[in-house]
Structure 1
Amino acid sequence: MTFRPQMTSFTQGIRPLGPLRWRAWDGIVADLWHVEGQEGGGGHYLSPDPRLVVFLDDGAAAVDLSERADFEGARAEVSVLYVPAGRPLWSRITRASGFSHLDLHFDAGGLDRRLAGVPGLDLARPVLMQGQPRLRALAGMLAAECATPARHSLMLDGLTQALLAEVFALPPEEAQAEARGGLTPHQLRSVTAHMRARLDRRVAIAELAAVVGLSESWFAHAFKHSTGQTPHRWQMQMRIARARALLEDRGLSLAAVADATGFADQAHLTRAFRSLTGTTPAAWRRNGPSRPAIPVAALQQK
């Protein structure tokens, strides 16, 4: 079902210079407006959905914006604004001018999905700024796709992600992790998923670091900060947990279990199994329901 933004608006002294152009995809509707405003005109806007507005030309110099009807604390020459859901906005045109702007309306979860895993981001706070050349270029490419569709929505979504990163000034993930001293939640999920898909072998630090685009030394530090364990220890817990599950199948030999979980042979499995559980694989299988429950922290990462 296509998302339809529910905007309540009232305008005066503003007239369109052409038909509205728009594109819709995956919880976003993009509107491209070309209008002419008369001095003293303006409008009031309110939406239950968050939106991002980018002026594509210098028309913003003729528009004052405010969250108050009396325009106390009004901002002039704002060419990029993020308006949270449910926040009112008033505009006032200070001199006759034509201007174009791109509006991106997000559904209730569209913005959250695209910014998931970014720590400390307050989506309830408005952002008003002057557009930088890179930001205006990204918005211009999106506007061109609204005016004359030529590319798949994957391109639109990529440009939107880039716009959001610029508007919210998102630093590289490595910088975010460094500020926290560890991996981001998204990075940790990616790494543990990579490990879980390769329980038949030991995964090298270099390979894990590459999954999240970090250096080996920084990755090892950040991983231990986030989990309290080294990547090797974490992997070993996951492999032993898999071995325990395979031991439930009494038709599998211990050698087969060792091979399926990346150990050189049955003796190698036995040494690693005993170091983590305090018992051998054979004793674990033999004791059945009476064996002790041994928590494995790595299993908590879904």
Structure 2
Amino acid sequence: MLKMGAASDPHSMMVLYRSDGRGEGVRSPNPQLDGFLAVIVFQEMKEFTLHRNRKGIQIPRSVRGSTGLHDLRNAWSSAKHPTYSLNLVFSSAFLGELQPGGGYRGMDMLRDALDYGSRDETLLHLGLALVPAFKEPEKANRLFVDQVFLAASTHLISKHSAQQPLASLRGGLTPWQEKTAKEYLAANIQSNVSLADLANLCNLSPPHFARLFKRSTGTSPYRWFIERRLVLSKLMLESTNDDLAEIALACGFADQSHFTRTFSRIVGLSPAAWRRLQRN
């Protein structure tokens, strides 16, 4: 089991969970948490019995990409069974910040979906995008992890909301907020900036900041940050003879491999090929 925090919220987290089915069963913490657990199934899961509030619930066989949603205020337990999944815990406080001023408690935003029914391709892809962060957490981009966690939560609310869909925000960041956020990102191009770092500067919650930033700029904070890194990398590729590993570190990428993958995906050419093209 590998665990990491999420969205800079102390009670939200992501857990990459793998079990061979041996050993003691699993049960809810005591006291119960005020939040929801989303389970994204990464490999087929056999039928099992979930005991919730002392009542047995039969969970059918689940295919890769199936998703279960559990209200963690309930007491639960089950025998161990072979499992490989990504578990996302959304605290009530985090969920409440997704609908600022809406008059809802965070626990009003979702409802149980215990049957692990239809395959959810969107959530599966979001979950798989987070797996590398567990393999090399020291190289994980905090803005990227926060952004994917936020995207997963808004997607779940769109499918399983107990209330109206998230309200469309009018306007965006104020001019000073947008300027402050962009200047901070540009000044910390080599740093592992989080969504909370930016939100705190603008006196906003991380989810609220992310939504307003995208409305103001047309892109996510993570994408804007990566594009600034690529602008700097292009300048260095064109005007210096520094090797790719040096440029990668100077522009805030984890290593040369990460730099090459990101540059190639967005620009359409490898850094080396782009440099040759500019010099010819």
User: Which category describes the TM-score, using the shorter chain as reference length?
Assistant: 0.3 to 0.5
Highest relative contact order (Cα 8 Å, sep 6+), 1 or 2?
2
User: Taking structure 2 as the reference length, what is the TM-score of the superposition?
Assistant: 0.46
The structure with the largest alpha-carbon Rg is 1
